Amino acid sequence: RKGVEFTGEWKFNHLFRVSGSYSRMKAYTSASPGQPVDIHITPASTVGQDPDKAVLRADFTPTSYLDVDLVETHFWGMRINGQFAPTYQWNTTEYNLMNGDIVWKTPSYGTISLGCSNILNTFQIVNENGTNNTTYYAIQGRKYTVTYQITF
């Protein structure tokens, strides 16, 4: 894979910053398992794969002990092997994922983190083998995490 990525960051002040990135790849695939990986996946939504990804991140740090982070990622859909028979095709819808976490750093008891991935409970539809399947989802539902870290 070859590609390009653009990133940027804007610091409003010492408490709040927004950053983002955009990635685009030139990708290759094969017609079937075990075959050479030499088929270019054309980056256009109607004829090939569009493996673009955009990320927007907001960080808020009101104190040296507290950090709030929210990340929104947009993935464009893919159409792989569209020029081949339906058996060899792989199609996905575009989708967004939002993740967030809150981190509390205590002076002497370690760090506590509360996180949630896939906040909006988004699902990506995958249509494999050229069928009209619209019920196969490739993303897990919303997940919560609690982490405690102590450094000594």
Name the pTM for this structure.
Answer: 0.72
What are the residues whose beta carbons fall under 8 Å from the beta carbon of 130, sequence distance 6 or more? 85, 86, 87, 88, 89, 91
Range among 32-41, 48-57, 107-116, 124-133 rated most confident: 107-116
| pLDDT average, residue stretch 90-109 | 87
Q: What does the pLDDT look like over 10-32, one tens digit per residue?
A: 999 999 999 999 988 766 666 67
What is the pLDDT, as a whole number, of residue 42? Answer: 55
Task: Give me Rg for the CA atoms of the chain.
Answer: 20
